[in-house]
Structure 1
Amino acid sequence: MLTKKQRELLLYIRDHLSHSGVSPSFDEMKDALNLKSKSGIHRLVTALEERGFIRRLAHRARAVEILRLPEDLGPVPQTTNQNPTPDNPLLQSGVQAANQSLSVDETLQLPLYGKIAAGTPIEALNDPASYVDVPTGLIGRGDHYALTVEGDSMIEAGILDGDTVLIQRCDVIENGQIGVAFVDNVEATLKHVRRQSGKIELEPANASYETKVYDAERVQVQGKLVGLLRQYH
Structure 2
Amino acid sequence: MLTRKQHELICFIADRLSETGVSPSFEEMKDALELKSKSGVHRLISALEERGFLRRLPNRARALEVVKMPERPEAKKKAAATAPVSTTGAKAPPAPANDVIEIPLHGRIAAGVPIEALEGATMLPVPAALLGSGEHYALEVSGDSMVEKGILDGDYALIRRTETARDGDIVVALIDDSEATLKTFYREGAMVRLDPANRSYDPQRYDSRQIRVQGKLAGLLRRY
Q: How far did residue 123 of structure 1 move?
A: 1.9
* CA distance in structure 1 between the partners assigned to 2:85 and 2:152 by the alignment: 44
- Distance in 2, Cα, partners of 1:21 & 1:190: 41
Task: Please give the per-residue CA displacement for 1:65-104, whole angstroms capped at 9, x wherever unaligned.
Answer: xxxxxxxxxxxxxxxx89411699xxxxxxxxxxxxx946
**Distance (whole Å) between structure 2 residues aligned to residue 27 and residue 130 of structure 1:** 23
Task: Supply the distance in 1 between the matched residues of 2:140 and 2:152 (Cα, whole angstroms).
Answer: 10
Structure 2 unaligned segments of length 5 or more: list them: 1-11, 18-22, 30-35, 47-54, 57-61, 65-77, 87-94
In 2, the alpha carbon distance for the partners of 1:54 and 1:120 equals 35
Amino acid at match of 1:200: V
* Counterpart selection for 1:84 from 57, 82, 85: 82
Structure 2 counterparts to residues 1-233 of structure 1, below 5 A: 25=25, 44-46=37-39, 49=40, 56-58=44-46, 61=62, 83-85=81-83, 103=96, 105-126=98-119, 128-232=120-224
**In structure 2, do the counterparts of structure 1 residues 54 and 107 end up closer, same or farther at CA, with 3 Å as the change threshold?**
closer
- Paired with 1:202 and 1:87, the residues of 2 have a C-alpha distance of 47
1:26/1:108 contact within 8 Å kept: no
Native 8 Å contact 1:191 1:202 kept in 2: yes
Structure-2 change in CA distance of 1:28 and 1:131 (3 Å) = farther
Change (3 A) 1:54 1:190: closer
Q: TM (normalized to structure 2)?
A: 0.63
- Root mean square deviation, CA, Å: 3.5
SS in structure 1 opposite 2:82?
A: coil
- Conserved? CA contact 2:161–2:216, under 8 Å: yes
Report how many residues are paired: 169
Q: Is the 8 A contact 1:116 1:122 kept in 2?
A: yes
Among all aligned residue pairs of Structure 1 and Structure 2, give the percentage whose two residues are the same amino acid: 45
State the match for 1:70 in structure 2.
none
Q: Counterpart of 1:117 in structure 2: which amino acid?
A: A
Contact kept in structure 2, 1:24 and 1:62, CA below 8 Å: no
TM-score relative to the length of structure 1: 0.60
- Runs of 5+ in structure 1 lacking a partner? 1-16, 30-42, 64-80, 89-101
More moved, 146-155 vs 20-29: 20-29
